[in-house]
Amino acid sequence: MTVADTATTRTPSAAASRPGGSLPAAVAAYFFGGAGREETLRANEAAWQRLHLLPRVLRTPAHISTQIQLLDRTWPTPWLAAPMAHLRLAHPHAETGLALASATQGAGMVLSTQATTPLEDVARAVQGEPGRGPLWFQLYPYGTRAQWQQLAQRAADAGYEALVLTVDAPVQWPQTRARAAGFALPTDWPQPNLPAPAPQGTLQSVLAAAPRWEDVAWLRANAPLPLLLKGVLHPDDARTAVDEGLCDGLIVSNHGGRVLDGLPATAAALPAIVAAVRDRVPVLVDGGLRSALDVVRALAMGARGVLIGRPLIAALADGGAQAVASLWRQWRDELGALLALCGVEQPGELHPSLLQSA
């Protein structure tokens, strides 16, 4: 399949005047809403905008590269599509369309455990793309350890290069915009990568299934791929993970404000984690990044890469794989210009001295 083959089957309607505006209201609430009063959801975006660039002049580099180094490899861009569940609700191109469009533009992809496409199909779609970004698999540890191991092995066999263990969603916050809008998954909804059904029922009944540090240690020892932890906000947790050798990377994330409300914006949490980790493993960040400018801010704060969520869902919903490709293309062009205007040759040279808090 190529991005051209995925020419959209959905005609954009006049209702699509805002991103993802063509989606049914309950589905839009699921994709774009958050938990509680959505304080965290709003804080994420606003916090990046409070950081101003303080560029250096008269040192425009002769060359610009958007490449980064991550987990011992060089990649064309500093961004990956964040793991996001149920993308088939946004567009029939779903995860394969997102992965292929991302690969053609040098972006990476983290496939969700709750994807609606078998992980092998997604891997096959991108593997022929020479300029693609990283391909990682996100793991929700549902079921038994043997089931996680089986799924991790499936991902490794299919060509995924790392596992992303999401640690910030052991239980669901009961009040979400999606729930208020009456969102429910259709019956017989495809979830071909789920190791076991997600724990459900009363709060008390799901507590026993929540992952703990000893599970991370077990996975790290038994998984066939490098392991990143996604959803770390407290510097003490970052220190534990790195001091005890439990991960190959950390993703500072508050799940896009979808799980626990009242969390700090990721832009506010990032500096303390970067300081705690002291470059021993790469730190990535997601949440509220809405432009290449926001990405420059995140990289200048010390993130080695970023994950992007809702902007990609909006693009996918509005124009399928082609719209996703065009979003990434625009961001990459902008990133090149931003690096030049900041006086740096590549993302790795961005530095906190280029930032000023408003």
- Which residues are known to be catalytic? 255
H helix or E strand, kind and range, residue 138: strand 135-139
> Is 83 annotated as a binding-site member?
yes
The region of 80-88, 145-153, 191-199, 328-336 touching ligand FNR under the rule CB under 6 A is 80-88
Asked if residues 321 and 101 have their Cβ atoms less than 8 Å apart, the reply is yes
31 counts as binding ligand FNR under rule CB under 6 A: yes
44 counts as binding ligand FNR under rule CB under 6 A: yes
**Closest distance to ligand FNR from the beta carbon of 259 (Å):** 9
H helix or E strand, kind and range, residue 272: helix 266-277
Residues in the chain: 358
Which residues within the stretch 120-139 sit at the binding site for ligand FNR (CB under 6 A)?
Answer: 138
H helix or E strand, kind and range, residue 81: strand 79-81
114 counts as binding ligand FNR under rule CB under 6 A: yes
Using alpha carbons, list the distances in angstroms from residue 196 to 61, 76, 113, 182: 52, 35, 10, 25
Write the binding mask 227 to 266 for ligand FNR: x where contact by CB under 6 A, - elsewhere.
---x----------------------x-xx-x--------
Largest CA distance in the chain: 62
Q: Among 310, 267, 276, 281, which Cα is nearest to 87's? A: 310
**Closest distance to ligand FNR from the beta carbon of 60 (Å):** 31
> Which residue of 82, 99, 246, 321 would you call a contact of ligand FNR, by CB under 6 A?
82
- With residues binned 3-state (H G I as helix, E B as strand, rest as coil), the percentages for the chain, rounded to 5, are 40, 15, 45
For residue 88, the 8-state DSSP code is: G
* Residue 169 CB partners (closer than 8 Å, separation 6+): 140, 231, 255, 258, 259
Q: Where do runs of H (alpha helix) occur along 109-210?
A: 119-127, 145-158, 177-180, 203-207
105 counts as binding ligand FNR under rule CB under 6 A: no
119 counts as binding ligand FNR under rule CB under 6 A: no
> Is 67 annotated as a binding-site member?
no
84 counts as binding ligand FNR under rule CB under 6 A: yes
Select 123 or 313, whichever has its Cβ closest to ligand FNR.
313
96 counts as binding ligand FNR under rule CB under 6 A: no
> Which residue of 3, 85, 101, 162 would you call a contact of ligand FNR, by CB under 6 A?
85
88 counts as binding ligand FNR under rule CB under 6 A: no
Select 75 or 142, whichever has its Cβ closest to ligand FNR.
142
Tokens describing residue 129: 């793309």
Tell me the sheet residues that pair with 85. Answer: none
Tokens describing residue 286: 């997601």
Tell me the sheet residues that pair with 159. Answer: none
Which residues within the stretch 304-333 sit at the binding site for ligand FNR (CB under 6 A)?
Answer: 307-310
> Is 258 annotated as a binding-site member?
yes
> Which residue of 158, 289, 300, 342 would you call a contact of ligand FNR, by CB under 6 A?
289
Q: Work out whether the CA dihedral 317, 323, 329, 335 comes out positive or negative.
A: negative
78 counts as binding ligand FNR under rule CB under 6 A: no
Which residues within the stretch 170-229 sit at the binding site for ligand FNR (CB under 6 A)?
Answer: none
> Is 302 annotated as a binding-site member?
no
> Is 230 annotated as a binding-site member?
yes
Binding region for ligand FNR (CB under 6 A): 31, 44, 82-85, 112, 114, 138, 166, 230, 253, 255-256, 258, 286-289, 307-310
